Amino acid sequence: MQESLIKYHGKQTKLLVKSEIYRLFKHLASHRYFYPLGQMSRTKRMPSQHCQLSL
């Protein structure tokens, strides 16, 4: 019982952290200054072909 509780809390914490990071990233992306930075990291992650398709 205790073990599963810890596992559950671990999952919850991971989700919380993910949503926090996502929120922060969205906040930064909404700022015009940080927008090119977000675009840069996005293009770096994706293959160029896929990037062209999405545009």
Which pLDDT belongs to residue 14?
A: 86
Query: Counting beta carbons within 10 angstroms of the beta carbon of residue 51, is it exposed (0 to 12), middle (13 to 18) or buried (19 or more)?
Result: middle
In the chain, where does DSSP find H-type helix?
A: 2-30, 35-45, 48-54
pTM above 0.75, yes or no: no
Residue pLDDT, tens place only, 14-38: 888 888 888 887 877 666 555 555 5
3-class SS at 34?
coil
Q: Categorize the per-residue pLDDT at 55 as very low, low, confident or very high, splitting at 50, 70 and 90.
A: very low
Which pLDDT belongs to residue 54?
A: 47
